[in-house]
Amino acid sequence: MNTFQRIVPLLLIFLHPIDGMLAQETPSTLRILSYNIHYGVGMDGKKDLARIADVIKATDPDIVGLQEVADSTMMATLGRLTNMHNILGASTEKEAPNLYHLLDIPVPDSQLHYGDGILSKQPFAYVGNLSIPSASSSRYEAMCIDVDFSKEPGKKEIVRFITTHFDYLETIGSEMARKAAVAVIEAAFVDDKMDMGYILTGDLNATPDSEVLNLLEHKGWVKEDFGKELPTVPSTAPRKQIDYVLVRPKKRWKIMDIRVIYEPDASDHLPILMTLERISRD
C-alpha cells in the first residue's frame, strides 16, 4: 500500500443525531451543496460560523460537502447550527509531523487538525478518509460516506457521497497531483460494478476546461452547467469555477438544476448547489 492510499486517522468519527433532531423522510429529489468555507473566515476578516450555517440553511441541502474546515470542534458546531449529522475528514495526522520534532520547531496549529467535512440530513455509514497527492506544503484528503435513501423497509438504495479538496498551485507538480488524486478516489471509493449512485463534491482547483475535469468526465463523472458559466471564486467578484458537484452513473440521475449561490461575505468561495432526481432501479 503506498503512502497516498493509507487511511488518515479521523479526528472525529460519526456523531449520533443531535438532541431534538427529527427523523427525515427519504427524498427522491436531492439538493447537494459544495462549499469551501475558508475556516469560517469571511471576506471581512471575521470568523463567523453562524453566518456560514445561515448560508447552508438557506439552500436547504440534503447533503453538504465542506472544504477547509479547521477542526472537529468547528465541524460539530456546524452540525449543531444546521441540525444535521456531521463528520470531519482530517487532512493531517493527529500527531505532530516528525520533521517538527526533529528540528525542535513548534508545530503550527494549521498542520494539526484541518480537513474537510460532510453534513447530512440523513444518517450515514462512514466509508473512509484517504490522503491524496499534493505537490504543495498543504495536505489534502478525500472522504466518503454511504447514505441510504430507500423509502421501503428492508430495501436499500445507497448513494455514495465523496468530498475532497485538490492541490492548489499552478505548477506542473500540482497539476500532476490533481490527476493522481482522481486515480486515488477511483481506486478507493468507486466500483462501477456496484449498483449505486455516486456524488462527488469539492474544491478541485481546476477549471471546467482543464485536463483534470476532462479526466473525471472520462472516468464517468457527469458535469452539467446547462450552458451557463458558474464562477465560484473569488466570492466578491467571481471569475472562474473551481468548485463542483459531479454525479455518476448518468443513468442513475436526472440533473434538474445547478447554480452558484451568491454570498460574497461569508467565505472566499461561493457555494454551488445541484438539484438532482434519483432514477429508480425499477
> Residue 212's closest CA among 255, 236, 183?
183
Please count the residues of the chain: 282
Query: Within 13 A of 123's CA, how many CA atoms are on the CB side?
Result: 8
Cell numbers for 8, please give them. 488518515
> Could you tell me the domains of the chain?
3-278 (3.60.10.10)
> pLDDT tens-digit profile of 35-94?
999 999 999 999 999 999 999 999 999 999 999 999 888 999 999 999 999 999 988 655
| Average pLDDT of the residues of the chain | 87
Lowest mean per-residue pLDDT among 5-9, 45-49, 159-163: 5-9
pLDDT at 282 over 60: no
Give the dihedral sign, CA 7/8/13/14: negative
Whole-model pTM: value is: 0.85
In contact, 222 and 248? CB cutoff 8 Å: yes
Distance, CA of 74 to CA of 53 (rounded, Å): 11
Lookup result for grid cell 423509502: 151
Amino acid at 82: T
Name the nearest CA neighbour of 266 among 32, 60, 40: 40
